Amino acid sequence: MQTIFEKNPPAQWAIDQSLADTKRACFWIDDVAATAARYEPLRTSRFADDVVVGGGYAGLWTAIKLKTLHPERQVVLLEAKRVGWAASGRNGGFCEASITHGEPNAESRWPDETDQLRRLGYENLDAIERFINEHHLDVEFERTGQLSVANEPYQLDWLGESADPLVETLDTAQVQARIASPTFLGGEFSPRENANLHPAKLAAELARHAASIGVDIYEHSRVLHLSGQSDEPLVLETEAGTVTADRVALCTNVFPSLLKRFTFHTVPVYDYVLMTEPLSDEQLASIGWQGREGLADMANQFHYSRLTRDNRILWGGYDAVYFAGGRIRNEYEDRIESHRRLASHFFTTFPQLAGVKFTHRWAGVIDTSPRFCAIWGQAYGGRVQYVAGFTGLGVGATHFAADVIVDRLDGRMTERTELAMVKEIPLPFPPEPLASAGIQLTRWSRDQADHSGGKRNILLKTLDALGLGFDS
């Protein structure tokens, strides 16, 4: 069975023309390159009360919360390159309420906590919105909601399954009235589920706020080693010096953990993205999109899309690629076959935009966990706290994760810390070459499901039964 994208491909010349002048760079990071603050490297050894490793969202939120709760303490943030340069600065710019990578994932793993996790997710997104407004962060925040669309007839059977009372089911006419595409057969709209924002601006603004309240930020200060005894200060070694600290928060996302016990709890998966030139008024009118909703489709290999402030269209997803060996390399970001496939699917979805060009193409590496949402851990008697594994939906969930880390560092038992999702640590991925074989077979199976009316093969059914499957 062919998908709609294989049945109705655009002309090859249209794809060639759209990609002819693209820049291989992240639009968001390009956009803040001239304005984002720079922070000096650590050049000597020093003491700190609390050290945060990692200058992405999870690390920045953690540093801000630690310093806000304990203004008298010295809080240091160490970043290996630049604040927000990796996943936090190059994602799709969706800030979703879900902290479990979607409600189906929560229902399959923690059915007794699903309603609680949904409520906490909404409260978390509300808290992010309040913080941005209270501190006047210029991050292009728009609480637009989320539109999920069915591109294939079998996906219509999935509509109306959400237990979330805020979700509205849309027929063909209703979804077309929101965004006009010949591939959209129906959909669901969740008005409070999503906000759009500028991801690189969010990283830059969080860093600016952190520095303004007294967090010491050091860029180009990669931590090489963490050590310590149970009754002695912790020591973090960098290339230029050491930081001795009472407590440490590890927020290194997809990059290797400083704790060997978590080496196999995430794997790097590459995601690919295109950004169009700004649409003219006539082009935008041809697709509608007056609500500026976040957009995604319901396939296993799904696309995501949204409008920017100047009415560009970001178009990403579908190809989620794991490279054998689980390595992170710059050359993996330049995969023209993925960007050509995305361009083809774009013009199948929006044929009325024929002639639009893409200005930027890029990729980012996702920290995929075995359960497709964040995993927390600890070491050294709880003085080291750790989180990773957001699996591509961490813009909002990192804020919740930071709350958990700070609760646990401070020794507080809260509703958050007592969640099964927080307390449980899943089985790790197997080492290579088993990891590569298993991931590629699972990816192939999900693709086959998209080509078989959504029917899941024995592998996917087995993974579902074990709580290892994932319904996008």
Does the pLDDT at position 470 exceed 80?
A: no
pLDDT at 461: 79
Tell me which of 438 and 126 has the higher pLDDT.
126
Can you tell me the distance from the alpha carbon of 58 to that of 366, in angstroms, rounded to the nearest whole number?
14
pLDDT at 456: 87
Q: Tokens 């070459």 label which residue?
A: 433
pLDDT at 471: 43
Does the pLDDT at position 442 exceed 60?
A: yes
E runs forming strands in 162-241: 168-170, 186-190, 194-196, 216-218, 223-227, 234-238
Beta carbons within 8 Å of 31's beta carbon, 6+ residues apart: 198, 200, 201
pLDDT at 435: 87
Pairs from 425-428 (Cβ < 8 Å, separation ≥ 24) = 425/265, 425/375, 425/376, 425/377, 426/265, 426/369, 426/370, 426/371, 426/375, 427/370, 428/262, 428/263, 428/264, 428/265, 428/370
Can you tell me the distance from the alpha carbon of 11 to that of 421, in angstroms, rounded to the nearest whole number?
47
Does the pLDDT at position 32 exceed 90?
A: yes
pLDDT tens figures, 173-191: 999 999 999 999 999 999 9
pLDDT tens figures, 191-222: 999 999 999 999 999 999 999 999 999 999 99
Does the pLDDT at position 469 exceed 70?
A: no
pTM exceeding 0.85: yes
pLDDT at 178: 98
pLDDT at 468: 59
Of 52, 22, 119, nearest to 359 (Cα)?
Answer: 22
Rounded average pLDDT over 289-316? 97
Confidence of residue 251 (pLDDT cuts 50, 70, 90): very high
pLDDT tens figures, 341-370: 999 999 999 999 999 999 999 999 999 999
Can you tell me the distance from the alpha carbon of 340 to that of 89, in angstroms, rounded to the nearest whole number?
23
Q: What are the extents of the domains in the chain?
A: 1-28+146-191+267-364+433-472, 35-143+194-266+369-429
pLDDT tens figures, 6-24: 999 999 999 999 999 999 9
Question: DSSP letter at 311?
Answer: -
Tokens in use for 441? 């077979």
Rounded average pLDDT over 299-324? 96
pLDDT at 467: 59
Tell me which of 130 and 440 has the higher pLDDT.
130
Does the pLDDT at position 472 exceed 50?
A: no
Q: Tokens 């990059």 label which residue?
A: 255
Rounded average pLDDT over 303-310? 98
φ/ψ bin of 191: left (φ > 0), alpha (ψ from -120 to 50), beta (otherwise)? alpha
Q: Check the CA dihedral 262-263-266-271 and report its sign.
A: positive
- The mean pLDDT value of the chain amounts to 95
For 452, the 3-state DSSP assignment is coil
Can you tell me the distance from the alpha carbon of 398 to that of 377, in angstroms, rounded to the nearest whole number?
15
Looking at the domain covering 35-143+194-266+369-429, what would its CATH class be?
A: alpha beta
Can you tell me the distance from the alpha carbon of 420 to that of 428, in angstroms, rounded to the nearest whole number?
17
Can you tell me the distance from the alpha carbon of 395 to that of 125, in angstroms, rounded to the nearest whole number?
10
Q: Going by CATH, does the domain composed of 1-28+146-191+267-364+433-472 fall within 3.30.9.10?
A: yes
Helix (H) or strand (E) holding 422: helix 420-423
Can you tell me the distance from the alpha carbon of 181 to that of 196, in angstroms, rounded to the nearest whole number?
21
pLDDT tens figures, 54-75: 999 999 999 999 999 999 999 9
Confidence of residue 462 (pLDDT cuts 50, 70, 90): confident
Rounded average pLDDT over 99-113? 93
